[in-house]
């Protein structure tokens, strides 16, 4: 990457040249770019809500039309029959997270899935009950962990161990995580960390963390809300125990869209792993004979409680088909370059405006996704309001962080250049 950077320029013509040479450039046209801003938009919040693929409407309309035409018989006779509809998502999802098809399913919502997974995988005992998570985890994850601890009769403060950056640092060192795992040793029941930290954009070294956790006998799970569709994942290869993610961020499935989850194959059919059960997890061959006794499907589907939310799934499928066409490897390649160019532009602006900007996201492209978290020292929210006024849709986090997400599917190098110009004008 560094020898590319050496001949980069912070100019409109150079940005346009990068766009011309971008093999994924046409995908921007596959998405609806919002039109609500007074000035031309730079949509940099795909990490909160991904944009709508133009194809989504037809995917949803297909199901609405089949519902109109078939009523309940759509479960069998819709173009994409609703009974097995969720199976359309599993294969494509498995590729995105690096899992076997039998290890993933898509349904419910993220926090719901985290709880369902913890019911199975957080099984504290008197001597082994601790949970290791990152400090400043997303609030919903914190609440989920706290309530799980309480549910099992533990005081969250004694149970939950948070790992934080060292004094004066912004990122959490992998060595510190691993040392903490070793220190907790046999008292550690579960590690539950975000694959990519939502605040700093730091990618955690999931393979190493998993290995360290297993070494002391702990279960290792990840919240991949900011990782799925953003970075290349190899959950099966890394031997991760469980994971879950939402699909409305980088996976563009629309507000409140369905969530995906992964359960390692070694656990899926293990009868000693308990789960909360519902009829959609029951053996498909006799589900409608309404038997009294639950017989789990021998895949991750057996954690599904309810029948498939087909309309939400249709929206998700529209986006999954785009991911399937491109593949995570090619997408990540562009992502690393686009984010690096945005970083280059910001650094150039910073050099010319007094040097008050600090990017707290890791500098090495491998250690971050398509996000940059910028601290503007001495500026506060006013700077954010000014760039918003000029068409930048970004995210503000107290006390002083502007988060931007140059998403490789629909953002381009010209966005990165224009963002720099807007920032420069606001700073000077
Ligand atoms: C976005 C996000 C959530 C949101 O949870 P929902 O159940 O989908 O509302 C949870 N955790 C993390 C880490 C997130 O980034």
Q: How far is CA 98 from the centre of its chain?
A: 14
Q: How many CB atoms lie within 10 A of CB 277?
A: 16
Q: What pLDDT, in 10s, does the model give residues 70-105?
A: 999 999 999 999 999 999 999 999 999 999 999 999
Question: Pick from 180, 238, 229: which is nearest to 207 by CA?
Answer: 238
CA dihedral 387, 390, 394, 395 (to 10 degrees): 50
Q: How many CB atoms lie within 10 A of CB 13?
A: 8
Tell how strand 219-223 and strand 188-194 pair up: parallel
Ligand 1 contacts CB of residue 111 (under 6 A)? yes
Pick the residue with more confidence: 27 or 136?
A: 27
**Residue 426 and residue 383 in contact, taking contact as beta carbons nearer than 8 Å:** yes
**Residue 248 and residue 49 in contact, taking contact as beta carbons nearer than 8 Å:** yes
> Which pLDDT band holds residue 398 (cuts at 50, 70, 90)?
confident
The pLDDT of residue 1: 52
The pLDDT of residue 406: 98
Task: Give the residue carrying structure tokens 């019911």.
Answer: 119
Cα distances from 396 to residues 41, 82, 155, 195, in angstroms, run: 17, 40, 33, 21
| Distance from Cα 142 to the centre of ligand 1, integer Å | 11
Q: How far apart are alpha carbons 365 and 362 in whole angstroms?
A: 7
What mean pLDDT is reported for the chain? Answer: 96
The pLDDT of residue 4: 59
Least confident stretch, 312-321, 360-369, 372-381 = 372-381
Cα distances from 197 to residues 136, 205, 351, in angstroms, run: 9, 11, 27
Which atom in ligand 1 lies closest to the alpha carbon of residue 48?
1
Give φ, ψ of 134 to 5 degrees.
Answer: -85, 145
Instruction: With a cut of 50, say whether residue 53 has pLDDT above it.
Output: yes
Ligand 1 contacts CB of residue 194 (under 6 A)? yes
**Domain 60-326 CATH assignment equals 3.30.70.1880:** no
The average pLDDT across 308-322 equals: 98
Mutational pocket test of ligand 1: of 225, 256, 258, the residue with most ligand atoms within 8 Å of the beta carbon: 225
Q: How far is CA 91 from the centre of its chain?
A: 18
> Collapsing DSSP states into helix, strand and coil, what is residue 130?
strand
Ligand 1 contacts CB of residue 373 (under 6 A)? no
The pLDDT of residue 355: 93
| Distance from Cα 364 to the centre of ligand 1, integer Å | 25
The pLDDT of residue 5: 65
The average pLDDT across 112-121 equals: 98
| Distance from Cα 110 to the centre of ligand 1, integer Å | 6
Which atom in ligand 1 lies closest to the alpha carbon of residue 249?
1
Instruction: With a cut of 90, say whether residue 3 has pLDDT above it.
Output: no
Q: How far apart are alpha carbons 53 and 323 in whole angstroms?
A: 11
pTM of the model as a whole: 0.96
Q: Could you give the residue range(s) of every CATH 3.40.640.10 domain in the chain?
A: 60-326
Instruction: With a cut of 70, say whether residue 2 has pLDDT above it.
Output: no
**Residue 99 and residue 260 in contact, taking contact as beta carbons nearer than 8 Å:** no
The pLDDT of residue 380: 84
Q: Give the angle subtended at the CA of 80 by the CAs of 76 and 84, to the nearest 5°.
A: 65
Cis peptide bond prior to 48, omega within 30° of 0: no
Q: How far is CA 295 from the centre of its chain?
A: 32
Q: Whose CA is nearest to atom 2 of ligand 1?
A: 225
Which atom in ligand 1 lies closest to the alpha carbon of residue 137?
13
Q: How far is CA 82 from the centre of its chain?
A: 26
The pLDDT of residue 136: 85
Q: How far apart are alpha carbons 177 and 212 in whole angstroms?
A: 9
CA dihedral 50, 54, 59, 62 (to 10 degrees): 140
**Residue 202 and residue 368 in contact, taking contact as beta carbons nearer than 8 Å:** yes
**Topology of the domain comprising 2-30+327-427:** 3.90.1150
Helix axes 381-389, 413-427, angle to 10 degrees: 130
Question: Pick from 140, 143, 142, 148: which is nearest to 118 by CA?
Answer: 148
The average pLDDT across 49-69 equals: 98
**Structure-token pair, residue 427:** 């700073």
Which atom in ligand 1 lies closest to the alpha carbon of residue 223?
13
In angstroms, how far apart are the furthest CA atoms of the chain? Answer: 72
Q: Could you give the residue range(s) of every CATH 3.90.1150.10 domain in the chain?
A: 2-30+327-427
Q: What is the DSSP string of 181-249?
A: HHHHGGGEEEEEEESB-TTT-BBP-HHHHHHHHHHTT-EEEEE-TTTTTTS---HHHHT--EEEEESSS
Q: Whose CA is nearest to atom 13 of ligand 1?
A: 138
| Tally of residues, the chain | 428
Question: Pick from 4, 30, 46, 14: which is nearest to 372 by CA?
Answer: 46
Ligand 1 contacts CB of residue 140 (under 6 A)? yes
**Residue 373 and residue 200 in contact, taking contact as beta carbons nearer than 8 Å:** yes
Ligand 1 contacts CB of residue 261 (under 6 A)? no
Ligand 1 contacts CB of residue 110 (under 6 A)? yes
The average pLDDT across 381-390 equals: 96
Q: How many CB atoms lie within 10 A of CB 275?
A: 18
The percent of residues in the chain predicted with pLDDT above 70, rounded, is: 99
> Collapsing DSSP states into helix, strand and coil, what is residue 84?
coil
> Collapsing DSSP states into helix, strand and coil, what is residue 280?
helix
**Structure-token pair, residue 344:** 């280059």
């Amino acid at each position: 990457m560094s020898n590319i950077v050496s001949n980069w320029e912070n100019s409109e013509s150079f940005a346009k040249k990068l766009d011309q040479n971008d093999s994924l450039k046409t995908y921007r046209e596959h998405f609806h770019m919002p039109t609500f801003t007074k000035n031309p938009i730079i949509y940099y919040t795909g990490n909160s809500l991904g944009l709508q693929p133009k194809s989504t409407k037809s995917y949803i309309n297909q199901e609405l039309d089949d519902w109109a035409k078939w009523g309940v018989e759509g479960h069998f006779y819709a173009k994409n029959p609703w009974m097995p509809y969720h199976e359309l998502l599993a294969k494509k999802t498995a590729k995105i997270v690096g899992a076997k098809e039998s290890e993933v399913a898509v349904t419910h919502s993220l926090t719901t899935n985290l709880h369902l997974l913890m019911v199975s995988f957080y099984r504290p005992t008197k001597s082994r009950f601790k949970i290791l998570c990152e400090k400043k985890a997303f609030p919903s994850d914190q609440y989920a962990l706290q309530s799980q601890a309480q549910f099992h009769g533990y005081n969250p403060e004694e149970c939950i161990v948070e790992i934080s950056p060292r004094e004066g640092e912004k990122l959490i060192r992998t060595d510190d995580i691993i040392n903490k795992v070793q220190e907790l040793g046999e008292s550690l029941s579960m590690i539950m960390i975000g694959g990519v930290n939502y605040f700093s954009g730091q990618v955690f070294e999931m393979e190493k963390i998993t290995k360290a956790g297993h070494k002391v006998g702990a279960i290792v799970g990840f919240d991949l809300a900011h990782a799925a569709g953003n970075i290349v994942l190899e959950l099966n290869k890394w031997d991760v125990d469980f994971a879950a993610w939402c699909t409305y961020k980088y996976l563009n499935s629309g507000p409140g869209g369905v969530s995906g989850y992964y359960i390692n194959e070694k656990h899926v059919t293990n009868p000693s792993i308990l789960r909360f059960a519902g009829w959609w997890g029951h053996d498909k061959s006799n589900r409608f004979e309404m038997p009294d006794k639950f017989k789990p499907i021998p895949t991750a589907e057996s954690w599904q409680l309810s029948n498939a939310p087909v309309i939400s799934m249709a929206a998700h499928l529209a986006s999954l088909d785009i991911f399937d066409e491109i593949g995570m490897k090619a997408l990540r390649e562009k992502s690393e370059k686009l984010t690096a160019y945005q970083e280059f532009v910001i650094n150039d602006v910073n050099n010319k405006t007094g040097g008050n900007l600090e990017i707290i996201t890791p500098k090495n492209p491998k250690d971050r996704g398509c996000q940059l978290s910028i601290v503007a020292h001495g500026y506060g929210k006013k700077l954010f309001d000014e760039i918003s006024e000029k068409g930048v849709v970004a995210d503000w986090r107290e006390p002083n962080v502007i988060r931007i997400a140059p998403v490789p599917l629909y953002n381009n190098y010209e966005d990165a250049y224009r963002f720099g110009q807007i920032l420069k004008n606001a700073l000077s």
